[in-house]
Structures are given as C-alpha cells and as structure tokens.
Structure 1
C-alpha cells in the first residue's frame, strides 16, 4: 500500500518537511547543511515562495507573505521556531541529538532570539534567487 499523498503539497503522509525561505541566504545555508548531514534522507524541503510551502504555512496559521517562523512538519505534528529547529537537528541522529538540550533555555527566550534573527535575516545575510535543486536533490524538494 502506498502512502497517502497531500494533494495541496505533494508530501507523503508521515513525511518530515522543512518549510524554508528560498530567497534567504541564511535559510539556503540551513538547507545545504541539512542536505549534507541528513544521511537517512529523512527531510524534504518546501520553499515558502512555492505552492507547497505557501499551502503548508497557511494550513498551520502562518502568513506566507510575512514569514518570520520556521516550520517543521512530521506526520500530523507541526513545530515552529526553536522547537522545530531542535527537532530537525536531533532528527539527524548521532551527536546532533544533543540539540534536545535547547529545552534547558526557556522557550520564550529561545524564540525571542530566533525571531530577532528571522526579522533581520535579509539585512544581516542578504538575499538570493530562489533555490533550484540540482538533479541529485530534486526528489528532496516538494516543488
């Protein structure tokens, strides 16, 4: 039996999807990092400028036209901001599971720092054209 596919996004049910800002240099660096370290190919990616990314953000109450949040979807669960980042890093396995120690810092403080970075990411790191995956990466991106 094949997995159920979300008609709006093309994602398989139960699949882990990272929604990222495709025009942000820092965000594209994050995706490059995950592509290098995700040896189990656990994560797929959706640029928030694409059809799938916009649909996923809207479905989870985030404004696709004012993206200041990080979104991770794992099956029926959604995590934003530092909780999502923590889960992605820990999901890489090995020493990355130490990312769970982030919970020792109060969420309010973690998320405040993250939001400051997110709101200033273009000014501090710049922008680029939306990422176009190469042939080896294409199956990891929803659109």
Structure 2
C-alpha cells in the first residue's frame, strides 16, 4: 500500500463517462463533503497516479486515499461506497474474494470507453463541486 499526505481523495479518469458519473454519484451522496476529487489528467492527478504507479495515459484503475493509504480497484470503490449514507451495506462485499471482485472491476475498466463512451476533454465539474476538486 502506498501512503499519500492528502486524505479522502478520489483519483479518476476525467475523460471516461462512467468514471465522471461515478464522481457525480459520490459527490451527490457525500453529505459530509468528505471526499475530494482529482482527474488523472490534471497536474495533481498525474502526480498522484505516478506516485501509485498508475500510467496516466492509460489508467486501469481508480484510486482512493483513505486513512493516508491508497486503495485501488474494487477496494477503492467499496471503501468509498461504504462511507456514504445509505450505502454502508456495500461493506459486506469485502467478504467476496478480492481476486473475484478485482476481476469484475478489471473487466468493466478495460471496456469502459466502449460501453459508456469517452469525453473529448476532461469532465468539468459544476460550481457546487468545484471546491472539492484538486487540480
């Protein structure tokens, strides 16, 4: 696991339609405004990705820094979901073996552009989210 000084930061692919919807989903439900977001295409996101050995030009995972530790793939998604009101039940999915969870995650991640589409340029959050974006 990799440590990072900023906490509760979600690293995502800003040109991925699915990933950008994920960010909006989290932001809408994160009533405590705990999580902040950074696109892998931003200067901060690129530094974060490189620190985690994620290729910024071909990201294969999202990541979340939680408790000072970076989590990837299904662990990242479940940590975020499990922190949201009404979604804490998803913590039970940690009982599913990690290779199976990550296998499903990887299948979706590899096909995300084909299934969900891709923006021409990085997703720009609306004004209500802008204060939570780290660039």
Q: Normalising by the residue count of structure 1, what TM-score does the alignment of the two structures yield?
A: 0.86
Q: For residue 49 of structure 1, what is the aligned residue in structure 2?
A: 41
Q: For residue 130 of structure 2, what is the aligned residue in structure 1?
A: 138
Count of residue pairs the alignment pairs up: 131
Alpha-carbon offset, residue 91 of structure 1: 1.0
Alpha-carbon offset, residue 73 of structure 1: 0.6
* Bigger CA radius of gyration: 1
Q: For residue 104 of structure 2, what is the aligned residue in structure 1?
A: 113
Alpha-carbon offset, residue 133 of structure 1: 2.0
Q: Normalising by the residue count of structure 2, what TM-score does the alignment of the two structures yield?
A: 0.91
Unaligned residue ranges in structure 2 (runs of 5+): none
Secondary structure of 1:140 counterpart: coil
Q: Given that residues 87 and 100 in structure 1 are in contact (C-alpha distance below 8 angstroms), is that contact kept between their aligned partners in structure 2? A: yes
Alpha-carbon offset, residue 14 of structure 1: 4.8
Residues 75 and 101 of structure 1, relative CA distance in 2, 3 Å threshold: closer
Cα deviations across residues 55-103 of structure 1 (Å, max 9, x unaligned)? 111111222122001200124211000011110001113x311111111
Pairing of 1:89-108 with structure 2 (within 5 A): 89-93=81-85, 95-108=86-99
Q: For residue 78 of structure 2, what is the aligned residue in structure 1?
A: 86
Q: Taking CA–CA contacts closer than 8 Å with sequence separation of 6 or more, which of the two structures ends up with the larger relative contact order?
A: 2
Pairing of 1:10-89 with structure 2 (within 5 A): 13-89=5-81
Alpha-carbon offset, residue 15 of structure 1: 2.6
Give me the CA root mean square deviation: 1.5
Residues 25 and 17 of structure 1, relative CA distance in 2, 3 Å threshold: same
